[in-house]
Each structure stands twice: as C-alpha cells, then as structure tokens.
Amino acid sequence: MGKATGFLDYDREENAGQSPLERIKTYREFHTPMDMEERRKQAGRCMDCGVPFCQYGKPLHDGMVSGCPLNNLCPEWNDLIWRGDMDGALRRLLLTNSFPEFTSRVCPALCEKACTCGLNGDPVTVKENEYSVIEYAYSHGLMNPAPPSHRTDKRIAVIGSGPSGLAAAQRLNRRGHTVTVYEREDRPGGLLMYGIPNMKLEKEIVERRLDLMKAEGVRFVTGVNVGKDISGEQLLQENDAVILCCGTGNPRDINAPGRDSKGIYFAVDFLKSTTKSLMKSNLSDGYFISAKYKNVVVIGGGDTGNDCVGTAIRHGCKSVVQLEMMPKAPDVRAENNPWPEWPRICKTDYGQEEAIAVFGSDPRIYCTTVNKFIPDEEGHIRSIETVKLQQVKDEATGRMRPEKIPGSEEIIPADLVLIAAGFLGTEKYIADSFGADLTPRTNIATVSPDGYFTGIPKLFTAGDMRRGQSLVVWAIREGREAAKAVDEYLMGYTTMR
C-alpha cells in the first residue's frame, strides 16, 4: 500500500484551476497540475483497503455500478506513485485502460465515488493521479508506437472512431490483425473530437493518441459515411469481421409548437460547429453557430447541457438559462443512496460556475420544460413559453412521471435555443445497411445481453450503439471487450485479458 497513515496525515488537495472569469477568456483546459512531491502525498492517501470498491466496476444489489468499469488497478498504481516509480505506475495503468489521457480528463471519476476514504472523509484523488501518470509518460518519452511483431491474415473494419471504436481498433491491431477505422467526419475521434469541448479535452490530446495508433498500423478512413457512401454488405464481404461503434446518433427532440423556428439547434451541432471553427481558424471564419449577444436557452441538464452553457459564455452571450425537467438533487447523499453507490447529489459543473460568476445566479431552472417556441414575424425564435412540472405516480406502471402544472406558464427571452435532451439510439440507416436488428430502445441487438456478436456472420457492435448513451469510460470498456470477442471469433482463442 502507499503510506500506512497517508489518509490521516494528508488532506485531499486538488489541482488548482483558473477562476471562472479568467478561464472564459480562452477555450483551453484550465487546471494546473501540482508538483510531483505533492502528487506523491495524494497517492499516499490510498490505503489499499481490503475490498477496493474503486476498481470493482460491477453492479450492486440495485443494478447501480460501483467503481471503475475498466477495473483500473487504482491501489497498485497509487502505491507506485507514492514510491516514485512512475514507469511502474504507467505499466499497471495501461494494463486495463487504453486511453488514460481521455478518462483522466472527462470521466466523472466513478472510482473516487466508491473510494473507501470517501465513506467518512474525502476520497483519494484517483483521477488526477491517473492524469499525472499518463502525462508524465508522454513528457518523458515513454509513450512510443507499439506495432505488433507479426501480422495475421485477418482484416477488420471498425465503423466509428469514438472511444469504443478506438479502443477496439487499438487492441485488435496490437494483436496483429489489419484494422481499418471508418469515420464519416473529416477527422477521426468521434465524440472525443467533436462532442467534447476543448475546455475539457483539448484536441491536441486526441490527435496525439491518433498519431500513435497510425504509427502502430491502424488505418483511418475519414469522410466516408458507411451505409450511404459504402454499404454494409460490401464491408462484410471485404473483411473477416466488422465492429459497429457509431454511438447513439439520434438526438432527442422537443416536439412543441413552434419547433420549426429558426435559431433552434441540437446541442451536438452547436458544440461541433464551435470545435471545427476553432481548429480551422480560431473562430475567425465565422462558420459556427454563434451565441454572441444572444439570450440562450439550453434545454436539458447533464454534461452536454453544461458544455453548452460554458461554450455560450465563451462566445459572449447576453444571458443563459438551462431548463431541467427533474427536481434539484439533494446537496448531500440521501439515506437511500449510501456509499459505495454513485452519489445522486447536485453537482455544479464548470459551465454553471461560470454562469454564476458572469451573471450572478445559477442558470438552472428545475422542474421546467418548454410549452411552446415563439418566433418573430420572420420565423426566428425570440422567446419560449415554459411550464412547471410535478412528479406524479403512473397508476398503470407504478412509476413517477412528469406532469405539467396548469397556470405555471412563463415567457422568457430566447434568441438561441440548444436542445441537450440526450440521445435515443442508433441511426437506423446504419443498422439497415448491415441487416442488423434493433432493440426496443433502438440499440443494435446482440445474441446475448452481455455479448457483442449480433448473430449476423462477422458482425459485432460495441459502445453506446450497443448499451445506449453512456460515459467515455464505459465506451472504452465496451471497445476492449468487443475486441476480445472478435479475436476469439477469428482465431478460436484469445490472448487478451
């Protein structure tokens, strides 16, 4: 273990971040890593407890997963950081995590929420410790291409270059198979490239990993929309296996009167347009959905809604409001939500912090939805009518459902509306091109609930496309497990752990 009394001797300390009013001036990441001696102390807080829930990653009694889905060996590499063995910490970290540089930036740290130190105090800074290991590795020349020593005669196509597709491609390529990744956008990376703002994940970090994979032999084909530009049938004929990792591409819409007004966009299109313009011209080309001088309404909470708030503020919006259908979560764990469950508590993320700093109040309005969109004479959105919601029990199902409260309507200004209400599932044209069946939730169906084989010869699936909208860390887990299933399918056995 680390320092035997580390969790008693050292308080939890986190990387310092720029103040909200300072960091909104750029689109850069805004935390500064602490020096290595202080990081060693933070790792020394890990007590190597008898049952390390941090790395458990399996469902508890109620189906909620506790700990890291990748089963990261957190106590082991925390101990190695404490001892100053960063090379050893890197080896242990890479045993389970294909892309620590992504998870250490964008993961909500399921490991920390299950940390034993968090039961009666502050959890270990596992996520920042992971960041320190992988960034040490890159800065000290430890992250070099690792091409396979020999190649098999098997060809594999991976459709989609988000975290699940990249994880599957990396493992199968290192196994010796020839892997081609197809991406319909102009750059590979999927969600990592265009779905997550630079403030959380700078694109140089994604490109750094992509360059490594290319040097290892993975081939990327961009600007090709599988199912339209090339058929699924053709890819199945040309390859020994195909893995569908296209994510959940159908954004959930808001079907209210006035929905066809100009100035209403899905959050993913708003965020993507900003990232593309930043990468091409630092926003000077004007080819992005601008929030400057506008009253912005974001419909939906979660990470995507928060990202929209932070991005709109950086654009220079006039105001920003975020509508959430659900009630505000409690500020501390409720009695029916004990450790080591994921804490269902209110989280004020970076975008909301920035809105509070700029406009003086939290942008979130709870238990509220859109009743109708109100355009001007030219058809451009100018305001919305909101309505309050209350949770009522559905007698048929026994579940709680939202119901509008008559007389609670209110008009608020809106020059730009961003819909961040989540995603519904697979885009059907992709499934149809391969002849794949869909589940009732419109995910790609597999032979077994926990499997990755679709039942169609050669065809597998992974990531959000299989399990539904989820986290980057789950997508990496899915890609790794799908790679193992494909390898066993092709070779009759697998050497992957």
| pLDDT tens per residue, range 41-63 | 999 999 878 889 999 999 887 77
Same domain, 31 and 134: yes
Q: Tell me, yes or no, whether 68 lies in a domain.
A: yes
- Three-state DSSP class for residue 296: strand
Same domain, 73 and 13: yes
Q: What is the mean pLDDT of the chain?
A: 96
pLDDT category, 219, cuts 50, 70, 90? very high
Which amino acid would we find at residue 197? P
| pLDDT tens per residue, range 413-458 | 999 999 999 998 899 999 999 999 999 999 999 999 999 999 999 9
Same domain, 221 and 345: no
Same domain, 30 and 134: yes
Asked if 407 and 440 count as a contact pair (C-beta separation under 8 A), the reply is no
Residue 242, exposed/middle/buried by CB under 10 A (0-12, 13-18, 19+)? Answer: buried
Same domain, 386 and 471: no
What's the DSSP call for residue 444?
B
- Three-state DSSP class for residue 427: coil
Q: How much is the pLDDT for 2? A: 67
Q: Tell me, yes or no, whether 119 lies in a domain.
A: yes
Same domain, 12 and 123: yes
Q: From 262, 268, 278, 345, select the one nearest 305 (Cα to Cα).
A: 268
Q: How much is the pLDDT for 108? A: 96
220-227 mean pLDDT = 98
Same domain, 393 and 439: no
Same domain, 412 and 430: no
User: In which domain, by residue range, is 293 found?
Assistant: 264-419
pLDDT category, 1, cuts 50, 70, 90? low
User: What is the CATH classification number for the domain harbouring 106?
Assistant: 1.10.1060.10
Please identify which residue in the block is written with the tokens 């890990």: 46
* pTM for the structure as a whole: 0.96
The residue among 378, 401, 419 that closes a domain is 419
Lowest mean pLDDT among 1-5, 201-205, 217-221, 481-485: 1-5
Q: Tell me, yes or no, whether 148 lies in a domain.
A: no
Helix axes 126-139, 86-94, angle to 10 degrees: 110
Asked if 119 and 112 count as a contact pair (C-beta separation under 8 A), the reply is no
Q: Tell me, yes or no, whether 145 lies in a domain.
A: no
The residue among 78, 111, 139 that closes a domain is 139
The residue among 363, 396, 419 that closes a domain is 419
Please identify which residue in the block is written with the tokens 């319909």: 184
Terminal Cα-to-Cα distance of the chain (whole angstroms): 24
Phi-psi region of 453 (alpha: psi -120 to 50; beta: other; left: phi over 0): beta
User: What is the CATH classification number for the domain harbouring 281?
Assistant: 3.50.50.60
Same domain, 317 and 283: yes
For residue 363, what are the contacts with CB-CB under 8 A and spacing of at least 6? 298, 309, 320, 321, 322, 351, 352, 355, 356
Distance CA 34, CA 54 (A): 23
Distance CA 296, CA 276 (A): 21
Q: Tell me, yes or no, whether 258 lies in a domain.
A: no
> Number of helices and strands (H, E) in the chain?
17, 18
Same domain, 274 and 411: yes
* H helical segments located in 261-411: 267-281, 302-315, 350-359
| pLDDT tens per residue, range 74-132 | 999 999 999 999 999 999 999 999 999 999 999 999 999 999 999 889 999 999 999 99
Q: Tell me, yes or no, whether 146 lies in a domain.
A: no
Same domain, 483 and 415: no
| pLDDT tens per residue, range 242-286 | 999 999 989 999 999 999 999 999 999 999 999 999 999 999 999
Question: What Rg value do the Cα atoms of the chain yield, rounded?
Answer: 23
What's the DSSP call for residue 191?
I
Counting the structural domains of the chain, the total is 3
Same domain, 284 and 406: yes
Q: Tell me, yes or no, whether 320 lies in a domain.
A: yes
What's the DSSP call for residue 453?
B
- Three-state DSSP class for residue 122: coil
Q: Tell me, yes or no, whether 197 lies in a domain.
A: yes
For residue 307, what are the contacts with CB-CB under 8 A and spacing of at least 6? 196, 197, 200, 267, 271, 351
